[in-house]
């Protein structure tokens, strides 16, 4: 599995942005102020992050684009993350996650937040509950994501390579 693309509409400093991740990308680089940290925040947020502190915000509404001299503020933030290579991983239905996901090569995870506080979670453009959404964000072969764990523990889960087996 690997990240294929990230699309942000109205998220933090991005009114609109799409990033394609070529297979094998291991880092995001750029000059100061280019939004590297906001890209990381977008990935955490779309995967279900609920801590405003982790997202470097005071309240969740702060992730919605506030406008510039040239662009009006937006009424919502939306981030979509496409994960590819699912056809190479066995996905078993657990915690309400349909086993039919194993039929797809790509998985699109989307999260929306409106200024009035309403939010939506979608998997492959189908609305779902946060609980199901969180189950889809767990890494196959590992325990489902524990939202009570520290940000350091969660980042270690993504950065620590798993041992390769004959099945990988």
Kindly report, residue by residue over 9-53, the tens digit of the pLDDT: 999 999 999 999 988 877 888 999 999 999 999 999 999 999 999
Burial 47-63 (b: 16+ CB within 10 A, else e): bbbeeeeebebeebeeb
The ranges assigned to domains in the chain are 2-159
Helical residues (DSSP H) of the chain, grouped into ranges: 36-46, 130-136, 151-159
- 160 pLDDT exceeds 60? no
- 108 pLDDT exceeds 50? yes
- The first and second tokens of residue 107, run together, are 């998985």
pTM of the model: 0.73
Supply the mean pLDDT for the chain. 79
Query: CATH number of the domain at 2-159, please?
Result: 3.40.50.300
What count of other Cβ atoms lies within 10 Å of the Cβ of residue 30? 9
């Amino acid at each position: 599995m690997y990240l294929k693309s990230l699309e942000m509409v109205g998220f933090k400093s991005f009114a609109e942005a799409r990033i394609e991740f070529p297979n094998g990308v291991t880092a995001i680089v750029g000059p100061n102020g280019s939004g590297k940290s906001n890209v990381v925040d977008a990935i955490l947020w779309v995967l279900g992050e609920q801590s405003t502190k982790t997202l470097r915000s005071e309240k969740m509404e702060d992730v919605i684009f506030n406008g510039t001299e040239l662009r009006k503020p937006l009424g919502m933030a939306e981030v979509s993350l496409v994960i590819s290579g699912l056809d190479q991983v066995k996905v078993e239905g657990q915690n309400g996650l349909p086993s039919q996901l194993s039929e797809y090569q790509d998985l699109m995870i989307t999260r929306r937040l409106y200024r009035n506080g309403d939010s939506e979670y979608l998997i492959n453009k189908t609305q779902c509950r946060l609980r199901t959404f969180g189950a889809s964000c767990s890494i196959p072969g590992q325990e489902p994501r524990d939202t009570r764990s520290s940000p350091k523990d969660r980042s270690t889960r993504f950065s620590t390579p798993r041992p390769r087996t004959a099945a990988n």
